[in-house]
Chains A and B, each alone.
Chain A
Amino acid sequence: MSMSLGLVADSFLALLILGLAVWTIAVRGTYAAVVGFVAYGLLVALIWVRLAAVDVALTEAALGSGLMGLLLLRAVACLPPDAPAPASGRVGRVALRVVVGVLCAGLTAVLAAVVLQLPEPAPSLAAAAAQALPTTGLGNPVTGVLIAYRAIDTLLEAVVLVLALIGLWSLAADGAWGGRPGALRTREPGAALVLLAQLLPPVGILVGIHLFWTGANHPGGAFQGGAVLAAMWAIVLVAGLAAAPRVDGRRLRLVLVVGPALFFAIGLAGIWWADAFLGYPADWAKPLILVIEAALTLSIAAALGLLLAGPPASEPGPGGQA
């Protein structure tokens, strides 16, 4: 009985997500499309919870829905209101849409066919991952995959964040280079927003640190914790309680690279300690992983916060010379 109830709830959730996806694509206004995208991300996070992948759900909610939503909202704000689609080449646009639609449908069909043809039980590395987990000292197999078995992927992800920030900063006007990002500045933050920015960060910082710390044994980790910390920073910036740091600050750049740099250094040392790049010596795995995760959390929080804060903007008055 409970099984079928769960099936009903899952079917409803799947239909809701499909409907919302169609609506997000079909809706005319860009702002409405972004709002649809954010709600879509939260529903996808619910699906991950239903699949017992809480780590993925946390990441989807914090990064896929929250952070991406805010970035898209900022992009919408930069566009002229109700930008009309270019009138020229209308036939070409329709043809392009048909091609994209056919390709997407084909991809979906292939994926569905693959999933339906999986043997029962499906091939899985879960048992092998769980068996080797004690050597890392971790209790959360997802963290084990991210920081030990497939550490190279995580290292590159952390580096990609820094590269993304460099790409964003390179959009700055020449005169504004070295200045403070200004995208999150609001003209007149209301009293309620200021109160929120004073009340929420202490709680949010605690939650962010908890997510990093608990990630060793339970769902959580550097990316989820860093995203929560970055969100707290963004609230403070939006409410105008603090200015974003100048992008030419030496200390800021140190914070940005300390995570990936430390990860890389410990990985290199693994060649001597553990006979493998990104390997850990047997008795030191857990403390080394915690050190890496702590530095990564800090760097990820800084990089995500600065991505939200936007490229350096020209600021009148002192501080413009750099």
Chain B
Amino acid sequence: MSLALSVFTIVCVFLGAVFFLAGTLGLLRFPDTLTRLHALTKADNLGLGLVVLGLLPQVDWPLGALKLIAVWLLALLAGATVGQVLGGAVRPPPVSGAGESTP
């Protein structure tokens, strides 16, 4: 049982690391800010999420696990907000008249 949990941890953390690697590659190679943000948020959301998921069987239940999940949720909140703010900063403001009704 503990072997299965260890394998689960290794697989999940490895997959998370793959997402971080892919996100970093995207950050370095993608052509403009919006696509780079896209790559970066994938690393934050899925990469960190998989690492946290993989570490869950290795920590105390429930306090340690709840802390890990809280870290992931806070990173999600911060990452999503920073993505929005940066995206809004680089995107040209909508042309007047066309902007208001279309989301």
Contact = CB atoms under 8 A, between A and B. Distances in A.
A192 B74 CA distance: 14
A200 interface: yes
A200 B81 CA distance: 11
B78 interface: yes
Interface residues of B, number: 8
Interface residues of A, number: 9
Interface string A193-210: 101100110010000000
A200 B82 CA distance: 13
Nearest to A194: B81
A278 B84 CA distance: 50
Chain B at the A interface: SS class:
helix
A190 interface: yes
Contacts of A195: 81
Interface in B81-101: 81, 84-85, 88
B77 A190 contact: no
B25 interface: no
Interface of B: 74, 77-78, 80-81, 84-85, 88
B88 A196 contact: no
Contacts of B78: 196
Nearest to A197: B81
B74 A190 contact: no
Contact of B85 (A190, A199, A203): A190
A191 B103 CA distance: 13
A193 B84 contact: yes
A203 B84 contact: no
Contacts of A196: 77-78, 81
A192 B81 CA distance: 5
A298 to B, nearest CB: 24
A191 B81 CA distance: 9
Nearest to A191: B84
Nearest to A235: B81
Contacts of A191: 84
A199 B88 contact: no
Contacts of B85: 190, 192-193
20 contacts: A190-B84, A190-B85, A190-B88, A191-B84, A192-B80, A192-B81, A192-B84, A192-B85, A192-B88, A193-B81, A193-B84, A193-B85, A195-B81, A196-B77, A196-B78, A196-B81, A199-B77, A200-B74, A200-B77, A203-B74
Contacts of A200: 74, 77
Interface in A166-197: 190-193, 195-196
Contacts of A193: 81, 84-85
A200 B74 CA distance: 8
A264 to B, nearest CB: 37
Nearest to B74: A203
Contacts of B88: 190, 192
